[in-house]
Structure 1
Amino acid sequence: MMPNFNIKVKSATPLLLDAREATMKNVEAMCRGQPAWYSLSSVAEYRQKRAEGLDGFVSPALYSGAKTVYIAARDGHQIELRIIQPSKESKGVLLHFHAEGGFVIGSCKSYDNYLLHLANALQITAVSVEYRLAPENPYPAAHHDALDAARFALSPEGERILGSPLKILAGESAGGSLATWVVLALRDQGVDVRSKIACIMSSYPIYDMTYTPSLLRHKREAVLSSEGMIKFVDTAFPHLSLEERKDGNVSSLYAELSGMPPALFLCGMEDPLLDDSVFMGSKWAIAGNESEVILVPGAWHAFTLIPAGEITDEGLGDLVQFASKHLK
């Protein structure tokens, strides 16, 4: 019997699409007005400018109620976990892997307002992982940190410190890729992920580090360009050939996918990573797992993270609806 598989293109009127196109053009203009991360003297310089709101960037808004704990990675490195509690009693933990830059840029401090919204809407504790970044720490450092954080969250100590059991793995862009990779790695280590994890929420992820047609043919520059994504991947996986990147331990699209929890793959139809969500969502279902692919017309990369009015609200609503269904 075929598992529940739904691929849905959201409806949008011509007037709404025109409004989204106008907003997307503004986003493109904003992106072109900022320096590319690979144009500066170092990635560290770019990260600093973004964090401090320099050269056209807006520094991230921090939630004063967030707390921080540190856990040990397998090599002794201390992984920072940023914890945002809901306003009511928590029903579980959402382990989050941040976006903002292809395993190269970003921080667990980047999206406090986004995680606070999910925490309160789902009545769940949001825990964001500060995984290590390339080029200082190329593959597999980020993947190992992500997996070590998940194993901690699943442990009795982790449940005691975080206050609730792990229920959801979620992430955006590179973080969405990590969320999926972690569940595959847990399964391969003998964890019954279907009974332990209620669902996965992966927003506009990359699953093929050798690149899908939608990425290779993409011509626009709203948050993520084709050139930028390729440079991210080349920086994060510098020692792997294209053939080596087709290994399922690197590109999850090539992995064996059986025994997985329900998963949502959310993506905008103007996103260069569109094919990654469509391809993975289809393979997820073919492997016998519940799969939902939601495609949003006129939406660009990171549309749920960077506030843009109705289109951001729509994406957040899709995430909350999916998670609420499976948290029951």
Structure 2
Amino acid sequence: MSLNVVPLPIDEANLKARLEFLDKFEAQLAGSVQWQECESPAAYRKMRREGLNGFTAPALNPKARLVNISGRDGYQIELRIIAPTEQSCKGVWLHFHAGGFVIGSNASYDTYLTTLSNRLGLTIVSVEYRLAPENPFPKPLHDCVDAALYALSAAGEKELGAPLKVLGGESAGGWLAVSTGLALRRDHGVDVRSKLDAIVAGYGIFDFTYTPSLLSHTRNIVLSKEGMMDFCEAGFSHIPMAQRKDPLVSPLYADLEEMPAALFLTGKIEPLLDDSVFMAAKWQQAGNVTELSVVDGACHAFTIIPMGDATEQGLDIIVKFVQKSSSK
């Protein structure tokens, strides 16, 4: 089974324009407020959510609806549901938002999720999982697994309007998508290969002992080496570095057999580039359908932060992969 690596090379003029955009974007972000600099992570989240201190409040889909379900320890998990309006629903995509396990919410990326919902004909259900440092690993993963178990249940399928077909997310959400799929198979006996069409992991971290691309990264476009490590320590500092190759923490070291088709999508200018490259190779070696897409001239979060045609290319890759996987 070969590893499908896409997309085709970009033309020189288009790549030049993307790189110039990233240079300007990096300069624009220099000196912006970081969550570590605020009085608390909660205060930073509030600024982001309300559009304060230079942030732009996220645009919300007025048609999104909320459902609360009970997790394993009684925590009420909020699900934000965006149904397609331009075609009939073919299934559910359970989504795990970005934010380094510390920031973001299920309402942070409505524009992106609405686009995916309409282009794919899927109901996108985004999980409000608990955040670090207040709720370190494994609580966020527990919330995501419990949401997936609900979506797979008869009651969940009825409430959400369709069967669960895709697990997907970006950055921390990419880790959560892969780890949730593994937990369903390992801990709950779910035949995820037959139940799910695909896992879509955008620029996720899969090795918490850190890959070469992170350790050698020198730029700060959305995410720096130091920023990524700060996020990781917020959620995983209670786990000694010597124990972080545990497959429950770093799925790169997990048994990956009998998993669904997976897309590992990343930009080329990305501290977590090697995480996607290594994970795609391991996923393929375990006998799973795998696609690795490294988008030239793209940085961290390029599919969820508008970055011109790089964003459009990333969205096209996701849509084509999910459509191909759902027609198997």
- State the match for 1:98 in structure 2: 97
Alignment of 1:240 onto 2:275: no
Show the 5 A alignment for 1:1-328.
2=1, 4-8=2-6, 10-87=8-85, 88-99=87-98, 101-188=99-186, 189-328=188-327
Deviations 1:19-75 (A, max 9, x none): 111111122123214111111221111111111111221110001000000000000
Unaligned runs of 5+ in 1: none
Given residue 144 of structure 1, which amino acid in structure 2 is its aligned partner?
A: H
Given residue 236 of structure 2, which amino acid in structure 1 is its aligned partner?
A: F
d(CA) in 2 for partners of 1:19 and 1:234? 35
Given residue 266 of structure 1, which amino acid in structure 2 is its aligned partner?
A: L
d(CA) in 2 for partners of 1:319 and 1:90? 17
**3-state SS of the aligned residue for 2:300?**
coil
**3-state SS of the aligned residue for 1:246?**
coil
Aligned residues: CA RMSD: 0.9
d(CA) in 2 for partners of 1:36 and 1:221? 12
- Pairwise CA distance, 1:14: 1.8
Give TM-score, length-normalised by structure 1: 0.97
Given residue 48 of structure 1, which amino acid in structure 2 is its aligned partner?
A: K
CA contact (8 A) 1:7 1:294 kept: yes
d(CA) in 2 for partners of 1:14 and 1:55? 37
d(CA) in 1 for partners of 2:8 and 2:214? 21
Bigger drift between 134-143 and 47-56 goes to 47-56
Given residue 110 of structure 1, which amino acid in structure 2 is its aligned partner?
A: S
**3-state SS of the aligned residue for 2:299?**
coil
d(CA) in 2 for partners of 1:27 and 1:47? 22
CA contact (8 A) 1:34 1:57 kept: no
**3-state SS of the aligned residue for 2:205?**
coil
d(CA) in 2 for partners of 1:106 and 1:301? 15
d(CA) in 1 for partners of 2:227 and 2:8? 27
- Pairwise CA distance, 1:9: 5.0
Given residue 108 of structure 2, which amino acid in structure 1 is its aligned partner?
A: S
CA contact (8 A) 1:10 1:294 kept: no
d(CA) in 1 for partners of 2:275 and 2:307? 23
- Pairwise CA distance, 1:274: 0.3
d(CA) in 2 for partners of 1:102 and 1:241? 19
- Pairwise CA distance, 1:8: 2.7
d(CA) in 2 for partners of 1:30 and 1:162? 40
**3-state SS of the aligned residue for 2:145?**
helix
Distance 1:282 1:157, change over 3 A: same
CA contact (8 A) 1:84 1:115 kept: yes
d(CA) in 2 for partners of 1:19 and 1:325? 30
Bigger drift between 54-63 and 165-174 goes to 54-63
d(CA) in 1 for partners of 2:146 and 2:242? 27
CA contact (8 A) 1:10 1:295 kept: no
Count of aligned positions:
325
**3-state SS of the aligned residue for 2:167?**
strand
Kindly, what percent of the aligned residue pairs are identical?
A: 54
Bigger drift between 234-243 and 158-167 goes to 234-243
